[in-house]
A and B are shown apart, each in its own frame.
Chain A
Amino acid sequence: MSVIGNTDLRFSEEQGMILDTAREFCRDKSPISAVRAQLHSPLAYDSGTWDEMVSLGWLGIALPEACGGSALGVSGVVPVVECMGRALLGTPFISTTLAAQMIVRAGDNSQIERLLPDIINGKPATLALLENADWGDEQPGCALNEAGELIGSKKYVADAAAATLFVVSIEHEGALALALVRAEQLPDGAIRENTLIDETRRAATVDFTGVKIEPENLITGDGVAPALRDVRLLGALLIAADAAGAAAACLDTIVEYLKTRKQFGKLIGSYQALKHPTVEILTSVDSARSFIYHAATLITDDPLDEDAESACRMAKVQATQTLLFAGDRAIQFHGGMGFTYECDAQLYIRRAQWSQQQFGDAQHHRKRLASLLLDGGSH
């Protein structure tokens, strides 16, 4: 058996239609001027744009038909997120999609039927997983006290201020569990907004202490741990899709500048010192796209197998490393202009640094890939 393993890559007609629609939508709704207009707004997105995304049915792409979704799986969400990344379009789309996946994959039918319709209709939701800066620490300290109230807070909760529902990982009776918290249950001051390196994103520390969790809002059982693992992998994949899109747009920005800016009497794109790294960005973007659609080919609504796990991790590594490189070079290649806030290169490098830290950075995933690839199978 080869360590290269599964190299399946398919793209369905439905995915193609979603890609076309999403590309056009994101281009229209999220030109750079619109992105910049949201940099300092409280929620970092335009509610009108969000409502249109909801009416296009995007929140339900991966959700069951019984709840009003289109049951295309997260594979159908990947093209949307790639296009959003390309346009640097924020919104709580990724957070809400992942929170919904957590409920679908770990919740019972009554929870699914009760909560998903609101999500599909555009009520933002989010995951609350981390209690420190370590994505490798999977043991939550958050727990319920004897009165059934949550004790503890979560950090780096994406889109916390927009969320109407939080899916919180907790420790319960010696096992992983999930608590479902409605925003209105949070006391005043529970959300302490972060200042993020990426101004198109929002996240906060959320103190859940004192929130009463009724039994119907508690998810327990053997299924929680594997579902959590899978949703973290899907999170890595969606961040990768976003980063791959952003990297492609960053490449376009570089190419445009290299074709128009003159120095020493020549277009700077004619210098090999700039040309060759730009080709490296192109081949790297190409690899990132290949990995995200490879992963999209392998994931299903079932628990992720090892091939799918590898694919999600590789997608995350490749796409975020690519965006880091592209954003970094975009600044350098714009010269003095690149050092200014006005230059769009800053938007990409900030998105890059933020993306790298979502759902584990490149080293985190390569460490786990090493175990998957080198310690199993024939090796």
Chain B
Amino acid sequence: MSISKQEKDEFTAQVSAWMRDNKPADPGFLLPQSFMEVGSEVQLDFLREWQYKMWSAGYLGMAWPKEYGGGGVEPVFQTLADAAMRSEKVPIAFNIIGLGWAGPLINDIGSEAEKAKYLKGILSGEDIWCQGFSEPDNGSDLGNAQLRARRDGDEYVLNGTKIWTTLGSYAKYMILLARTNPEAERKYDGLSYFLSPMNVPGIDPKPIQKLTGEYGFTETFFTDARIPADCLMGQEGQGWKIAMQTLQYERGAEAGAAGGLAFVRVVIDDMIDELADVTRDGEPVLRDAAIRDQLVKLIMEEKAISLGDRRSSITALTTDYPFSLQLSSKLRWTEYSRRMRQFAINAQGAAGSLYVGDDDARQGGFWQRAYFNSFSATIGGGTSQVQANIVAEHILGLPK
């Protein structure tokens, strides 16, 4: 079904107006910049109310089936709604593991019973979801997951540990990768996938205090925890395949996600705006020659990334080292982002020494916290050092 440009434009205008009118006022405390940063009950309550409001207005789960709380329209509308959320800079949709990963998965391969049980609660924000993939001893090596799920009658008995469980303290359900057959010849074939409840004796999420001082995720311990056997998704041994499918949904609404912003992108304009009233030597800091030189370097770095995105689609200009732009993009953006945020603190003068919680901290300590949180991106998903090795070996052909 093709949708006319006019129809799209009208929809964008309508959803943008709604976002402007309904965007919540500044709550007086610092909101999380990403779904991985929800660290307190007040933040959670605020974001839950916001998600409920967006869903009630029809701007989340637009392409999901109506009978499960969705809107039943073409995915392109969700993409447009997401773009409007981004441009209106509204708060994040915090339940992203449900909206973006578990939900689309259940929609695509879940049974009728699973759809009926889970989908609506994901959209409304009533049911918070978390993910149990990583383990303490297997950071990046997902296929080696060791958490044991042993069948015992109508139940599975879970033993082991998951780590970096975002929203682990608040979640009602977890998408869980566990080992049902330790004897399997290929390690992947011994894995199974569960839609597991969290509120079960023996499942014990222990909050991890982050570099920022906040709590955002947990280390989750499983000690003889019993969950119903029908929590198994698909068949035993399909865990790896379903986990890989889960990772595909990050591409957005077109891939089945229910929409909503997973994070607020922090760009250099935000910093320059923030520095407008800072002074140095009695003059506006933006007039200071040394600061200006640094700012130009950072602007160029951010611009180079945007230009690289453009150039990567022009084949004639990418023949030297094909895919170098794509393969280095995570490394470049996350490292740039970290340094830009640190600079924003340094440029504040003595106020740069304050932190979240101090009334005099600029923007409530936004940049201080943002800088600390930026390490989640330079470390998570493959550290910058591992990324550099990947680029060196795969693009430049350097030896391991």
Contact = CB atoms under 8 A, between A and B. Distances in A.
The answer to whether A and B belong to the same complex is yes
Interface string B134-148: 000000000000000
B117 interface: no
Interface in A16-55: 16, 19
A269 B308 CA distance: 26
Contacts of A4: 267-269, 299, 302-303, 306
Contacts of B3: none
B348 to A, nearest CB: 17
A367 B299 contact: no
B293 interface: yes
B295 interface: yes
B301 to A, nearest CB: 8
Contacts of B301: 287
Nearest to A297: B310
Most buried by B among A7, A266, A290: A290
A144 B320 CA distance: 51
Contacts of B350: none
Contacts of A270: 398-400
A278 B292 contact: no
Most buried by B among A5, A248, A279, A317: A279
B325 interface: yes
Nearest to A276: B388
Interface string B310-329: 11001011001100110010
Given A286-B308, A286-B328, A318 B300 contact: yes
SS of B interface (majority) = helix
Nearest to B384: A276
A282 B396 contact: yes
Interface residues of A, number: 45
A241 to B, nearest CB: 12
Given A3-B299, A4-B299, A369-B296, A290 B304 contact: yes
A195 interface: no
A243 interface: no
Interface in B242-276: 267-269, 272-273, 276
Q: What are the 5 A-B residue pairs with the smallest beta carbon separation, nearest first? A: A287-B304, A290-B307, A370-B292, A9-B310, A269-B398
Interface of B: 267-269, 272-273, 276, 286, 289, 292-293, 295-297, 299-304, 306-308, 310-311, 314, 316-317, 320-321, 324-325, 328, 331-332, 385, 388-389, 391-392, 395-400
16 contacts: A3-B268, A3-B272, A4-B268, A4-B269, A9-B311, A255-B398, A272-B388, A275-B392, A282-B328, A286-B324, A287-B304, A318-B300, A366-B297, A367-B292, A370-B296, A374-B296
